[in-house]
């Protein structure tokens, strides 16, 4: 059964177009994807991302358990840091990608993708066995808002004080909101300066409304999942199920920086070490179209009659007014400037060029 976030009725009141996404009724847009996208890049937007899942691992060996499951190094960072990381199967494919917040040496708060929450919880439950720690799925307890854009700092300072402006990216701290404990993080999925706030369900409606009210002079707007998707694509941020899945490894997804092969061990390490030693056969790239059409998931990438890759995500960039996308290409065509054709449903070919992200700054 499709679920609703606490803000479902509020989204309807604001005129949002609602869709079923990852098992939740979610706003895809309010005033149009392009307008909302540009507003986040130039002013500030608010996303309801309460559909995301939250897992918590606590106990004396919580850090060891997290480092065993995640490819990145989380236990070694200081409390108050956030770490982006994939989780792999033993064969090297990706279970999910997530952000782990180190609250303390014995306390880790992990945000996972909504569509994978149950799968991730089961996977974590299996692989924390043998560690002196406790795993809990607290997804139902939290709502989450993402406040993103160049005016996000000014807006958040009105709620949490000027200290929030000084927070560096991928940091977090506990703060108080309407007398309730919340987690304030400088993370996001847009490439803009911004925050994500995890809070009890009973305060999110008040916070959402007051953000819109107090941020009016800053150009604040509610933003739907449509713009969230085009924003992350411009940055070459992966979407699970499109750009990464069980058939892709973090190295192929150009996420080598999230794989700490110097850790003693983690799930999938042996396969990733072997892949690194043997060399990659393909890699995820960003590209823009030089011809007509919009690239879509599954379209073939061609050089002459040779198939050299596949499109995983695509859209029209509201910032540069060009069609663009992400896709896997064989290694010889992954350098910026490399050109190839995209087969559009067998109807015609359109020329594409590999570019360095972010799209909206390099095209």
Q: What stretch(es) of the chain map to CATH 3.30.70.1400? A: 53-139
Cβ(226)–Cβ(27) under 8 Å? no
Hunting for tokens 């750009």 — which residue is that? 243
Task: Give 53-139's CATH code, choosing from 3.40.50.1000, 1.10.1740.10, 1.10.10.10, 3.30.70.1400.
Answer: 3.30.70.1400
What is the band of 295 on the pLDDT scale with cuts at 50, 70, 90? very high
Q: Taking the model in full, what pTM does it have? A: 0.97
Q: Hey, what long-range contacts does 121-125 have (CB within 8 A, 24 or more apart)?
A: 121/53, 121/55, 123/69, 123/87, 123/95, 124/55, 124/57, 124/69
Strand order in the sheet with 82-88: 82-88, 94-104, 107-112, 53-58, 134-137
Q: What stretch(es) of the chain map to CATH 3.30.1360.120? A: 3-49+140-234
**CA–CA gap between residue 192 and residue 230 (Å, rounded):** 13
229-242 per-position pLDDT tens digit: 999 999 999 999 99
Give the fold, CATH level 3, of 3-49+140-234.
Gyrase A; domain 2 (3.30.1360)
For residue 121, the model assigns a pLDDT of 98
**CA–CA gap between residue 208 and residue 37 (Å, rounded):** 19
Q: What stretch(es) of the chain map to CATH 2.40.30.110? A: 281-362
**CA–CA gap between residue 337 and residue 12 (Å, rounded):** 44
Give domain 281-362's CATH superfamily.
Aminomethyltransferase beta-barrel domains (2.40.30.110)
32-44 per-position pLDDT tens digit: 999 999 999 999 9
- Concatenating the DSSP letter of every residue in 142-178 gives EEEEEEESTTHHHHHHHHH-GGGGGPPTTBEEEEEET
Cβ(194)–Cβ(148) under 8 Å? yes
What percentage of the chain carries pLDDT values higher than 90? 99
Cβ(56)–Cβ(108) under 8 Å? yes
Nearest to 223 by CA among 91, 18, 30: 30
């Amino acid at each position: 059964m499709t679920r609703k976030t606490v803000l479902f009725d509020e989204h309807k009141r604001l005129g949002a177009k609602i869709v079923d996404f990852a098992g939740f009724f979610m706003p895809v847009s309010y005033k149009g994807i392009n307008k909302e996208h540009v507003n986040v890049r130039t002013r500030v937007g608010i996303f309801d991302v309460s559909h995301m899942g939250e897992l918590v691992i606590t106990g004396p060996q919580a850090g060891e358990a997290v480092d065993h499951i995640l490819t990145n190094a989380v236990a070694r960072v200081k409390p108050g840091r956030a770490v982006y990381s994939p989780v792999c199967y033993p064969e090297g494919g990706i279970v999910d990608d997530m952000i782990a917040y180190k609250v303390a040496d014995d306390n880790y708060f992990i945000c996972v993708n909504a569509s994978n929450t149950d799968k991730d919880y089961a996977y974590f439950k299996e692989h924390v066995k043998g560690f002196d720690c406790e795993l809990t799925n607290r997804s139902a307890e939290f709502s989450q808002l993402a406040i993103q854009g160049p005016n996000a700092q000014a807006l958040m300072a009105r709620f949490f004080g000027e200290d929030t402006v000084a927070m560096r990216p991928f940091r977090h701290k506990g703060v108080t909101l309407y007398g309730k404990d919340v987690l304030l993080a400088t993370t996001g999925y847009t490439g803009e300066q911004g925050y994500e706030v995890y809070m009890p369900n009973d305060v999110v409606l008040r916070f959402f409304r007051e953000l819109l009210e107090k941020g009016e002079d800053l150009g604040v707007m509610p933003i739907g999942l449509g713009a969230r998707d085009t924003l992350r694509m411009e940055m070459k941020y992966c979407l699970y199920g499109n750009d990464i899945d069980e058939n892709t490894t973090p190295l192929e997804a150009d996420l080598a920086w999230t794989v700490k092969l110097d850790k003693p061990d983690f799930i999938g390490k042996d396969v990733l070490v072997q892949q690194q030693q043997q060399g990659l056969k393909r890699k995820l790239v960003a590209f823009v179209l030089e011809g007509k059409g919009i690239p879509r998931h599954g379209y073939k990438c061609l050089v002459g009659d040779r198939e050299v890759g596949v499109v995983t995500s695509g859209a029209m960039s509201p910032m540069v007014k060009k069609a663009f996308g992400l896709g896997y290409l064989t290694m010889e065509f992954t350098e910026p400037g490399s050109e190839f054709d995209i087969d559009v449903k067998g109807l015609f070919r359109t020329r594409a060029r590999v570019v360095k992200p972010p799209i909206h700054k390099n095209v």
